[in-house]
Every structure is written in C-alpha cells, then in structure tokens.
Amino acid sequence: MANRIEDYAVIGNCETVALVGRDGSIDWLCWPRFDSDACFAALLGESKHGRWLLAPASEIRGVRRRYCDDTLVLETEFETASGAVLLTDFMVRREGSSEILRVVKGLRGAVAMRMELVVRFNYGSIVPWVSRQPDGRLQFIAGPDRLLLATRAPIRGEDFRTLSEFELSAGDELSFSLNWSLSYRPPPPPLDIAEAVAGAKSIWSEWAATFEPPHEWGEATLRSLLTLKALTHWESGGIVAAGTTSLPEKLGGSRNWDYRYCWLRDATFTLYALIGAGFLDEAKAWREWLVRAVGGAPDSLQTMYSVVGDRRIDEHVIDWLPGYEGSKPVRVGNAAVKQLQLDLYGEVLDALYVGREAGLAPDEASWSLECALLDHLEKIWREPDEGIWEVRGGPRHFTHSKVMCWVAFDRGVRSVEKLGMSGPIDRWRKIRDAIHRDVCERGFDPAQNAFVQSYGSTALDAAALLIPMVGFLPADDPRVKGTVAAIERKLIREGFVIRYDTGTKADGLPPGEGVFMACSLWLADNYILLGRRREARELFERVLAVRNDVGLLAEEYDPIEKRQLGNFPQAFSHLALINTAHNLASAEGPVHQRSAGGETGGREPPKTTSPAG
C-alpha cells in the first residue's frame, strides 16, 4: 500500500530534498538540485521507478519518528517482535557533490534487516550501468550522473536492484552512504560517517540557535522555519515552493503541478517570516535573488523562476509514471510561467519595500527596477489576468489582482514619502487612487456585502482575506467585515477554508481539491485584526493539528478523509503558519493594518507583522 503524503518526512542539504517514508523507503529524490531529474521516483509510481528502502525484514509493529533536536537529521525507530532498531537519515553537501547517509543501530534484541536500492535516472526511465570500484564502492552511472554506494554490509545484485540482508543486535551499527557527483569528474573520497553525523547536526542546530521562540508556538514555528531553510538554495538564496511535483490536489485527479520553482508571489510572505524570526541574512539573500530574477525588461516579468533564476520552465508530461495513487498526468515544468498575473507586481514592490523598512541596505539598482515595473504596470493594470490561483480558464478581471496593483503603487508612494526614494509620487498617487475606486466599484457585490473573485462575478474568493492585510481597507470597514462573514458562510468546510466558490454545497469539498492551508491561516489573521482572538487561536490550532508527526504540511488537506493533499512540504503553508503564530503572539496585539484610508491614505500604519507587506 502506498504511503500517504503525511507519512513522509523530509531531509535535505539546501540544494535538494529527499522524502523518507515511515516504512524506511526514500521514494523521492532529485539530484543534484530541487528541479533536477529524479533518480528515485517511486512516489509517483512504483518501486521499479526508483527508491531506497532500509527497514526490518519482518513485520513492523511500531514506528516512532522525530527530528534530532532542532535539525533536519531524521530518526526513525522500528519495533518488531524480536527487537528494535534506530534508523538515522540525513543529507550533506560537499564541493561538487551531494550525499545521503543512512545509519542503522540495534537498540533491543536482534532484528533482521533488508536494504533495497533501485536507482532509475530521468524520473524512473533510465537503468544505470553498475560496476564495482577499486575502493569497494558500487558505482551507478548514466550520462552525466554518477551515484556511489559505500557500506560494510554484504550487497548483491538481483533483477536490476541492489540488495542486502543482515542482522543487528543491540549496540550493532551499520552505515550506508550514497553520493551524487558528475560522472566525468574524479569521484569524491568516502566520507567519515561519524564526522558527517556530527557536522550535519551542528550545522542545523547552529542555524536554529539564532531563533529565540517568543511564544507558546515556538517549536512549531521553528520546525516551519527549518523546513523553509531546507527549501532554500544555499548559494542562490532562492526558495522553492515545494520539494515535489505532481502530488495531486485531489486523489485520482488531474490538477497535478510542478512546484519545484520559486514563485514571486511568495516573496513578501517569505520576507515577513524570515525578518520576523530574526533571519536577516536569509531575508537579504532572498531579496537579492528576487532582484536578479526579475531583472530585465518589465514586460518580461514571469510568475516563477528556477531556484537559481532561470526563466525557461517548459511544461511536459512524464507518461511512463502512473502518478501518485493513479493521479495523472505527471508534469515536469509549469506552463503557468507565461501567464499574466498582475498581482505579482504588488508582491515584488511590497517585498522590496518590506526589506528596506526592515533595515536591509537600500540598493539603487533595485529601485530603478521598481520604477520601471511601475511604469509598465501603469500601462497594463486595466487588463484581465490569470489571477493568484493560476486558473487555466482564460483571463478575467480578478479582484485580488487589482488590489495588488494598488499595493504596487502604494509601496512606491511610501518609498518616496517615508524612505526618501525619488519618484513621480503625484502620478503614482493618482493611479493608486484610480485603482482603489475601480476595485470598490467593480469588485464589491452589495447584495452579498462582500468582495468577489472577479468583476461581474458573484463567486467568493479567500484571496479577499488579504485586503485588510495589505492595507487596502481597514479590518473594521463594513465591506471587509462583510467579506469575512460571507467567507465564513460559504467557503468553510469542516472548520477550514477552501480557496474559492465553485458552486459546491456548503457541506462538500470542491470537485478539484481539498481545503487550502494558507487560506485558513489568512482567516485567522483577519480574526486577529478584528479582535476575535479566541476564534483565531482555535483556527490556528486546528491547522497545527493536521501537521504530520514531524511537523510538516502539504499544500492542502482533505478534512473528510483526514489526509494531506498536494505538493509537500509546501513553503506557502509553512510561511502562513509562521506569520500567523507571530501575529497571535505579538506583544503589541495582532497584525497591524498598513493603510486605513485607501484613496486618501488614511492614518500612518505602525510597524506591521502581517504576511503580505
């Protein structure tokens, strides 16, 4: 039986991540980078598509997992009728190579163990050439990719698999290391396992030690921050949206997308999470990635980029993989890269404003880029676009997109007014006010007393919860209160929030997906703004309760089947969790509004802790 999404934990080395199941099988790994081809793709198929299993050979009666303190070193304890063993999994990186290490130790009794390594490059389609090296390591090679397996355990080949059987008594220990390197370079020397374990624990612990948990949710917040760090490329500063592709929004469905890229939409959420937690170096690296990635002609702005800023992300189907629990197609790349999504301009301008306000050194080149983006947005903000949810149903005038156009010009105005930047402030004010009037006239439905998904529509959209969070209107505005009330009536399922109104009965889930974790947290943020702290806490803790046993969240959750859905682990979910925890615990109270007056500017907002600029 396939592992559920929540049955996986993640290990990583800030270049890539691997998914480790409760059964001891690593079923997903792209090497050497998050968006490289997978060499273990059993997650989206079968064991023959690549995996690395290390587990007891007999029936497993119990499994307990945990991360070793504040690290990404995973410990899995297996209990059998004859004893127990502890499996430690982690990743490291070296100059020009990357490595997974697995150490298994006997705890009690005697346990028969088995190891099965199935290497399949190119998402399960290429069987490597295998040979024994002079130093005893087993080499798997195909094209530029080379894996080297080192172990003292007895190994043998059978049916294009590498197998091992051995027994561990209490105190016995065996290790396995699997190294990736380029096949045309000299192989790296074997690692000292004890040093590698100590080094990996030290690196993660030292990073986590800079975070001082300010509230009762400190442990959950830190685990989310560690997950965010694991999805960050150590050199480029880019943060991918998730470690996987094609995990379905609905089991058996076709809404299976590749999330191993960096979305501009995540920019402000990411900066608030990092800055609020005190990780200014990571915030600075992310801001620098952002400026590099979007550099160029303003009309060439993309929705997403690779982790190092590549623009080409062509979408194609891997037809030999059957998909997670039969959810096809399996996609690599993402066609949404070329969509017009007007909200991205607001996210980029907001993120750069947030960075400046937080004290990150100003950059003249980035300000020139911002001015160029605003010049271009002035020409196109009236156009329809594809919206925040990247619906592939043709462009519309999405209300949230227009609100974020307002944010773009508002942050331009503030950068001049508050931070001393130079720009055509009168023109920007005029455009900002025109957008505000347009949204209030065309994006608001008086019959429902709520902002709707798009102009002329009656459908609701949870993205409207961002309206007070970005300062477009204050939380106590009757239109904002009405929108929250309408979302409570129509978009809540089993205590969680779906993304938008699909015409589904209020007691059913949308036909294409589960509930969206970030949307539930946005509603909690609105409760905080409205002074409804008890309800905010209850909703936040409801989200905390659906994390898996090691604190990880996917994109969505099915509250009927009680299981996670979508790509995993999902940065957007963890970002929203970090920000809501910070908002709830803020000593000054909840999230502060950044602007309260729309067209006239309103009162000057205090320092904000909200996640959208």
Task: CATH number of the domain at 598, please.
Answer: 1.50.10.10
Report the amino acid identity of residue 114.
R
Residue at 497 is within a domain: yes
Residue 466 covered by a domain: yes
Residue 504: predicted pLDDT: 60
Residue 239 lies in a domain: no
Mean pLDDT, consecutive 10-residue stretches, the chain (613 aa), reads: 92 98 98 98 98 97 97 98 98 96 98 98 98 96 98 96 98 98 96 94 95 88 97 95 96 94 90 90 90 88 94 96 96 94 95 89 82 97 94 88 98 95 97 98 98 96 98 97 98 95 63 88 97 96 98 97 97 96 69 37 33 33
Cβ contacts of residue 49 below 8 Å, gap of 6+?
Answer: 40, 41, 42, 118, 120, 123, 124, 321
User: What pLDDT was estimated at residue 3?
Assistant: 94
Of 186, 212, 233, the residue at which a domain comes to its end is 186
Whether residue 414 is contained in a domain is answered as no
The domain spanning residue 137 has which CATH number? 2.70.98.40
Give domain status of residue 336, yes or no.
no
pTM: 0.93
Q: Are 351 and 407 in contact (CB under 8 A)?
A: no
53 lies in some domain: yes
Tell me which of 162, 186, 210 is where a domain ends.
186
Check residue 165 and give its pLDDT.
98
The secondary structure of 563-608 as a DSSP string is EEESSSSBHHHHHHHHHHHHHHH-TT-SPPPS-S-GGG--SPP---
Residue 522: name the closest of 548, 541, 540 by CA: 540
**Domain assignment of residue 350, yes or no:** no
DSSP state for residue 361 in the 8-state scheme: P
The residue from 139, 157, 186 where one domain ends is 186
Domain that holds residue 463: 449-613
Give the number of other CB atoms < 10 A from CB of residue 413. Answer: 22
Helix (H/G/I), strand (E/B), else coil: 461: strand
Is residue 266 domain-resident?
no
Domain tally, the chain: 2
Closest by Cα among 69, 25, 56 to 197: 69
